[in-house]
Amino acid sequence: MKPSPATDARQLALAFDAPAAVPAHDGGAAPREPRHAPVGQPPIRYTLRRARRRSIGFTIDDRGLTVAAPRWVSVAEIEAAIAEKERWIRRKLAEYREWQARQPLRRVHFGDGGQLLVLGAPVTLRLRPDVERTQRVGAELHLALPPHAGEPQVRDAVHAWLKAEARRILGERLRVLAARQPRQPRSWSLSSARSQWGACTHDGHIRLNWRLVHFSPSVIDYVVAHELAHLRELNHSARFWQAVGELLPGFESARDEVKKLDLAALPI
């Protein structure tokens, strides 16, 4: 099961030729904004990065608008290029903000006090050298690590716990939902793919992405039912969706939620 294509606002670039001009001394990559903006519109702030290239390029990401330009192109010409593409830039900035708002897990601080989602609910990381193993206590995840543990060490401990939880939870939901149909999966395994929530092979092996453990039980059940239905129909025909509905009545809202998620954007 592949996620729906993310909006192109996630990583956007546009390049076009700019004429050579007097060298501009802008002092390197630093936030800037055009000197003029249309009435009623806020100025478009941007970061200027000088690069070895023959044209001006625009990129929109978490930092906002970045303009990459050759050193011989003046700031005035760069701002003229921004003005020329202003409608496109404003539209893509808005699309990117909307896309960001739809991502439930964008950044995780792998240290004491950091938060992540488990089954759709926030869980706070706590470094606890006094515990013997990683364990969840209410809304906290106690990690058997010293207070000075580095981010890579914390990340590894969190990943290990999440994958163990994923194997337990996904395995249980697979067993429960599979009991609702005659054909059973031959086997199943966890997946770490960045392009699929799940998959079902012709010979009946199911793969489920361990990152599903971040999301609500309804999302998990939908993905599991989706892959189980592929045991009957290796397509997305009307009969396939009928099979999903038989396994999980009222699955449509969870399907709509999954469509808004961008698997490739998850930080862990």
Q: Quick one: which of 238, 261, 191 has its CA closest to 6? A: 261
Superfamily of domain 151-265: Metalloproteases ("zincins"), catalytic domain (3.30.2010.10)
Contact 119, 213 (CB under 8 A): yes
Residues sharing a CB contact under 8 Å with residue 262, sequence separation 6 or more, in sequence order: 3, 6, 10, 99, 102, 103
What is the chain's length?
Answer: 268
Q: Do the strands 115-118 and 64-69 form a parallel or antiparallel pair, or are they unpaired?
A: unpaired
Q: For position 93, what pLDDT does the model report? A: 87
Element (H, E) at 122: strand 121-127
Q: For position 247, what pLDDT does the model report? A: 98
Give me the average pLDDT of each 10-residue run along the chain (268 residues).
46 32 36 51 85 87 84 90 90 79 70 93 95 95 95 95 97 98 96 92 96 95 98 96 97 92 75
Q: For position 104, what pLDDT does the model report? A: 59
Q: Quick one: which of 24, 90, 87 has its CA closest to 56? A: 24
Query: CA-to-CA distance for 44 and 234, rounded, in angstroms?
Result: 48
Cα→Cα distances 255→3, 195, 220, 261, Å: 10, 17, 10, 10
Residues sharing a CB contact under 8 Å with residue 242, sequence separation 6 or more, in sequence order: none
Contact 246, 231 (CB under 8 A): no
Q: For position 2, what pLDDT does the model report? A: 66
Task: Delimit the CATH 3.30.2010.10 region(s) of the chain.
Answer: 151-265
What 3-state class would DSSP assign to 70? coil
Q: For position 167, what pLDDT does the model report? A: 98
Among the residues of the chain, which ranges form H helices?
75-84, 86-101, 151-178, 217-229, 238-247, 252-260
Residue 83, Cα to own-chain centre: how many angstroms?
Answer: 31
Q: For position 107, what pLDDT does the model report? A: 72
Query: CA-to-CA distance for 127 and 236, rounded, in angstroms?
Result: 45
